[in-house]
Chain A
Amino acid sequence: MKRIGFQIAILAMVASAISTAPAGAGESAAVRNCTWCHGTGAQGYTVAPRLAGQRPQYIMSQIRSFRVHARNNPFSKQYMWGAVAALDASTAYELANYFASIPPRPANDGDGALASRGRTIYMDGIPEANIVSCYACHGPNAEGIRDIPRLGGLAYFYIKTRLEQWGEGYHSTPGSPMPMVASHLGPEEVEALASYLSFVK
């Protein structure tokens, strides 16, 4: 049973790698400009987060935030402000929907030992410490809704960094509750959440 599962996994990885290979495989120039950093099949690469399977309204809202320089954390400023400066609205819309349609793969790179604690914090928050339940906005499987992002399967490093950045005073979407949320999280809670979420399919 295990062996078959392993073989299927290999086949699946190869198949998905082939189907999302960027080099001239029918991908538009606009998409290639994104996957250059965001990884083959938009699954994320080092500091650039996975776009695959993300909420299209959220992708659009972040493109807007980059364009008006509202989202100002260092990597956004260094890379994304320039990346979207010439992006017109209809291309942004197409890109958002294209990436949303790609099945996401979980990063699975968190600390497994912390995942259970992370899940508890995600579902219940910590009311004694005024930490809200992430589930209330991001959904039971961290899938997001409308312009609230899918968090499930994002890279440990990315979630950890974003939570820390809000705590440090960086901004993203105007009116977002996230700065207030993140300001209450301590380092071990951040690591637990980031670990748990990196495993969520």
Chain B
Amino acid sequence: MVGARSVAADASDGRRGGRTVMTCARLTLLTAVLATAFAASGRAQERMTPARGGLEAKLEYCKTCHGLSGQGYLGYFPMPRLAGQQPEYIEAQLRAFIERRRSNPIMRNVAHVLSPSMITALANHFHHLNPPPFGGAPHAQIAAGKRIYEDGLPEANVPACAACHGAEGKGQNEIPRLAGQVYQYMVGQLTGWRTERGQGTAVDTSAIMAPTAHNMTRSQIEAVAAYVSNLP
């Protein structure tokens, strides 16, 4: 948007001549088209036109709860950050909601209408978003959380989170990104791991986290959650 404006300004300075006038007109037209395109995607100033087309509309729908840039949101429940998330992880969770291996009535309702190709498209879109972290975690425990994240809690059979989730919390393959995750969401997930995940009898990859989550005390969970929620 800024680029388009400065191009138009350059074109309208100085030189005369037929060719330059045509260039001016084309640049003005281009600016107008770009301005309209950007204005249409901005939300502040005008009538909300629901997006046409399956993916665009579905993305708006997801972002209503998960944050306009996928950064997460605190509703009555904490809605997790999807931005920058591993696409394999998002796909696996959506399938888990559909198959009720992960019990969450809101997400089950959301997910069960998604086609496999829509799931892949959504996961890829969110993977490429990169807003700053949602923030808001208490500061006091961040240092303790960093120690747990990097060293684990050997005496409690808790491995270092960094070993699987990466030194910077970006995750890999199906192992989720934790960096910038919503604090309240992380605390809720780790304290209530078994109540939501691994339901039913089908094999579920969430089982790998169950002992870890179980072996951490609440204050250790809060410390780690505070630490990763701040990671860029």
Contacts and interface: CB of A to CB of B under 8 A. Distances in A.
Interface in B57-72: 57-58, 60-61, 63-65, 68
A139 B77 CA distance: 8
A175 B131 CA distance: 15
Interface string B93-123: 0000000000000100110110000000000
Q: Nearest 4 pairs between A and B by C-beta?
A: A137-B75, A169-B47, A183-B48, A130-B61
Contacts of A167: 48
A136 B49 CA distance: 23
12 contacts: A127-B109, A127-B113, A130-B57, A130-B58, A131-B61, A133-B109, A136-B76, A136-B79, A137-B75, A145-B76, A180-B43, A183-B48
Contacts of B43: 179-180
Nearest to B114: A127
Contacts, number: 70
Interface of A: 124-125, 127-128, 130-133, 135-140, 144-146, 148, 166-169, 171, 174-175, 177, 179-184
B131 to A, nearest CB: 13
A179 B57 CA distance: 14
Interface of B: 43-44, 46-50, 57-58, 60-61, 63-65, 68, 73-77, 79, 106, 109-110, 112-113
B46 A169 contact: yes
A132 B76 contact: no
B112 A127 contact: yes
A148 B48 contact: no
Specify which of A131, A135, A168, A174 lies most central, judged by the most chain B CB atoms within 10 Å of its CB. A135
Nearest to A137: B75
A180 B46 contact: no
B168 to A, nearest CB: 28
A15 to B, nearest CB: 32
B76 A137 contact: yes
A150 B110 CA distance: 23
B48 A166 contact: yes
Contacts of A130: 50, 57-58, 60-61
A98 to B, nearest CB: 24
A128 B113 contact: yes
A178 B6 CA distance: 34
